[in-house]
Amino acid sequence: MNRIAFRTFGCRLNQAETASLSTRVAAAGFAVVPFGEPCDACVIHSCTVTSRADADLRRAARSARRRWPAALIVITGCAAEVGGPALAGRTGADVVLPRNDLARLPEILGTRLGRPTPEKHPATTAGHVPGFKTARAFLPVQDGCSFGCAYCIVPLARGPARSRPQSEILEEASRLIEAGHRELVLTGANLGTWREGRRGLAELAAELASVKGLARLRIGSVEPTTVERALVELMASSPMVCPHLHLPIQSGDDGVLTAMGRRYTASHIIDFLTWAFGRMPRLGLGTDLIAGFPGETDAAFEATLRLLDRFPFSNLHIFPYSERPGTRAPSLPGRVPPAVRRNRADRLIAKGNELRAAFALSFAGCRVSVLVEKRRSDGTAIGWTGEYIEAAIPSGAPLNSLLSGRVSRVDGERLVIELD
């Protein structure tokens, strides 16, 4: 039996797509093995959102070729969409598979590896990788983006925004739950733009929260000005929906936001977050920030720091700006030297570490729920709270169990839980 390994770069949507591809490949009779084990084909599902992502892809493809000289190297994902067939020459891959051909992956593997494959494949479970059961699964509900921010290649890589039908999403959710997953994470390229008629993401999430057997529902990254208020209201009213919001604000300076082509001002973010924390004081709040975008002065960067100081952010994803061919940003004036970008990114990372530790410490003595996802060799169970804080249960607990307990102490950014 041919062995197929998958490696994924990038966002949760990419991870969900890899899971769907691996399920389809397993259904066609191939053995899906963890990346790093000997394989007959290596499928790299790529990201191309930054120049660093492109460099990571090239290194991964060349490393796979050195490690498994006889293996078939296949590149799928956003880099395949943007780079096209020429990507094979730059990476040494055997096959570059665009998005429209992804359903043909089992057929292509069969042809190139010299074995027959079924002409039709059973329905796939997008968030579940065969043989690798986890407590949570990613549930893609939307793809593409029509916003056109100056730094972003996603509209070119994934096309305009489009939504999956609710009925299809609910069926997918039921299959994931039947496969043993306890938490579903809604994902999309621009998740907050999901629509079906007059129904938006908050209505879809409320429907999913009622699916039988689900332990909890988590919302992925949501763009400001889409549906964030309705989601906070849902989180405040439904114990099934994790009290965690990832809101990529990118900058706290109006001039930088305008240059980026963002659809809001710093005042809009401040007003929303003031309201949100008034509604949910213990809301877990993550964000993305770009350091050193063209035109970001010292004063503009300080404005971002001041915004971070105003609210209890729990998780920062920091990206030093890098020029991405195919976007408008490289042609903008006010280029920031790379060393300054890195310095600013380092300062934001340090701020993020400080904020995350402070957020964790605020839960000392509080009751939390934890979904157990792994177990250490000493028996300690490790999981995540609904607010997306890592938690340890020294007394141990079964994998995939959702448990409640009190925070007995805080160890850096990790909560230590005493079960009821």
In degrees and rounded to multiples of 5, residue 89 shows phi and psi of -65, -35
For residue 222, what are the contacts with CB-CB under 8 A and spacing of at least 6?
191, 192, 201, 228, 231, 245, 246, 247
Nearest to 348 by CA among 282, 302, 299: 302
pLDDT per residue over 102-159, tens digit each?
A: 999 999 999 999 876 554 444 444 444 444 457 899 999 999 999 999 999 999 999 9
**Residue 317 CA to its chain's centroid (Å):** 11
In degrees and rounded to multiples of 5, residue 250 shows phi and psi of 70, -40
Tokens for 203?
């209505």
pLDDT for the residue 118: 52
pLDDT for the residue 412: 93
**Per-residue confidence band for 1, with pLDDT thresholds at 50, 70 and 90:** confident
Nearest to 402 by CA among 246, 218, 258, 262: 218
pLDDT for the residue 51: 85
Sign of CA dihedral 270, 272, 275, 277: negative
pLDDT (mean) for 297-303: 98
pLDDT per residue over 192-213, tens digit each?
A: 999 999 999 999 999 999 999 9
pLDDT for the residue 132: 43
What are the residues facing 131 on neighbouring strands? none
pLDDT for the residue 133: 54
Tokens for 57?
């892809």
For residues 2 and 30, the answer to whether their CB atoms sit within 8 Å is yes
| pLDDT above 60: residue 401 | yes
Percent residues over pLDDT 90 in the chain = 91
pLDDT for the residue 303: 98
Tokens for 226?
């889409």
pLDDT for the residue 115: 74
pLDDT for the residue 126: 46
For residues 13 and 82, what is the distance between their CA atoms, to the nearest angstrom? 17
Tokens for 294?
């063209």
pLDDT per residue over 71-99, tens digit each?
A: 999 999 999 999 999 999 999 999 999 98
pLDDT for the residue 127: 46
What are the residues facing 37 on neighbouring strands? 35
This prediction's pTM: 0.91
Domains of the chain, each with CATH number or no CATH: 3-113 (3.40.50.2300), 136-361 (3.80.30.20), 367-419 (2.40.50.140)
- Residue 180 backbone zone (phi > 0: left; psi -120 to 50: alpha; other: beta): left
